[in-house]
Amino acid sequence: MANVSKLSLAALRDRIAAGTREVNLVHNSKADGTGVTVVSKMIYIPKFRIPAGLWDNGAFPPQDLKLGGFLIDKYPCSQPDATNTSRGSTTPNTPGAVAAVSQQGVVPWTDIDWNNAKVACANRKINGRSCHLVTMKEWATIVFLVKLLGHDIRGNNYWGRDYRDPDSWEHYGVADPVVASYTQQYSPNKQYSRCLTGSGPISWSHNGMANGIFDIVGNVWEWVDFLIDTGRYQAIKTAAINDADGITATDTAITIDNVQNREFWPTTNGLILIKAEGTNTDEYVIYSNFVDNGNGTYTLTGCLRGQKGTAASAHANDAVVQQITDYCVIPGGWTAKVADAGLNNTTNPTTFTISDLVLGPGGANPAVNDVLQCESEQLIVTAVSGTSITVSRGANGSTIAAHAQGVGIAKISSQMSNNDAASTDATWGAWQFGKFLTMRTEPELAALALPASVNASGNEEWKDGYWARWKGQRAALRGGGWDDGSAARAGFALHLGSPPSHANIIIGFRAALSL
DSSP string, 240-299: EE--TT-B-TT-S-EEEES-TTGGGS-SEEEEEEEPP-TT---EEEEEEEEEE-SSS-EE
Asked if residue 419 and residue 485 are part of one domain, the reply reads no
Asked if residue 279 and residue 177 are part of one domain, the reply reads no
What is residue 7's predicted lDDT score, i.e. its pLDDT? 66
The domain in which residue 241 lies consists of 232-328
Domain boundary among 328, 345, 363: 328
* Torsion angle of C-alpha atoms 444, 450, 451, 456, degrees rounded to 10: -170
Instruction: Give the number of other CB atoms < 10 A from CB of residue 461.
Output: 17
Is the pLDDT at 313 greater than 60, yes or no?
A: yes
What is residue 229's predicted lDDT score, i.e. its pLDDT? 98
Asked if residue 140 and residue 29 are part of one domain, the reply reads yes
What is residue 6's predicted lDDT score, i.e. its pLDDT? 54
Domain assignment present for residue 476? The answer is: no
Domain assignment present for residue 16? The answer is: yes
* Average pLDDT rounded to a whole number, residues 303-329: 96
Asked if residue 285 and residue 339 are part of one domain, the reply reads no
* Average pLDDT rounded to a whole number, residues 495-514: 98
* DSSP-assigned beta bridge partners for residue 325: 235
Asked if residue 159 and residue 72 are part of one domain, the reply reads yes
User: Which tens digits make up the pLDDT trace of 379-437?
Assistant: 999 999 999 999 999 999 999 999 999 999 999 999 999 999 999 999 999 999 999 99
CA angle 273–279–285, rounded 5-degree value: 20
Asked if residue 71 and residue 188 are part of one domain, the reply reads yes
Instruction: Give the number of other CB atoms < 10 A from CB of residue 273.
Output: 18
Domain boundary among 272, 297, 328: 328
Q: How many domains does the chain have?
A: 3
- The pLDDT confidence band at residue 515, using thresholds 50, 70 and 90, is confident
Asked if residue 497 and residue 395 are part of one domain, the reply reads no
Query: What percent of the chain is modeled with pLDDT above 70?
Result: 99
Is the pLDDT at 2 greater than 70, yes or no?
A: no
Query: What is the C-alpha separation between 201 and 196, in angstroms, rounded?
Result: 12
Asked if residue 323 and residue 258 are part of one domain, the reply reads yes
What is residue 272's predicted lDDT score, i.e. its pLDDT? 98
Q: What are the angstrom distances between the C-alpha of 467 and each of 131, 238, 403, 451, 482?
A: 28, 30, 25, 11, 16
Asked if residue 42 and residue 179 are part of one domain, the reply reads yes
CATH code assigned at 126? 3.90.1580
Is the pLDDT at 3 greater than 50, yes or no?
A: no
Run of H or E including 18: helix 9-19
Instruction: Tell me the longest C-alpha to C-alpha distance in the chain.
Output: 72
Is the pLDDT at 5 greater than 90, yes or no?
A: no
Contacts with 234 (C-beta within 8 Å, 6 or more apart), sequence order = 324, 325, 326, 327
CATH code assigned at 315? 2.40.10.170
- The pLDDT confidence band at residue 4, using thresholds 50, 70 and 90, is very low
The mean pLDDT value of the chain amounts to 96
Domain assignment present for residue 351? The answer is: yes
Asked if residue 36 and residue 182 are part of one domain, the reply reads yes
Domain assignment present for residue 515? The answer is: yes
Asked if residue 407 and residue 273 are part of one domain, the reply reads no
Is the pLDDT at 278 greater than 90, yes or no?
A: no
Domain boundary among 309, 328, 347: 328
Asked if residue 191 and residue 301 are part of one domain, the reply reads no
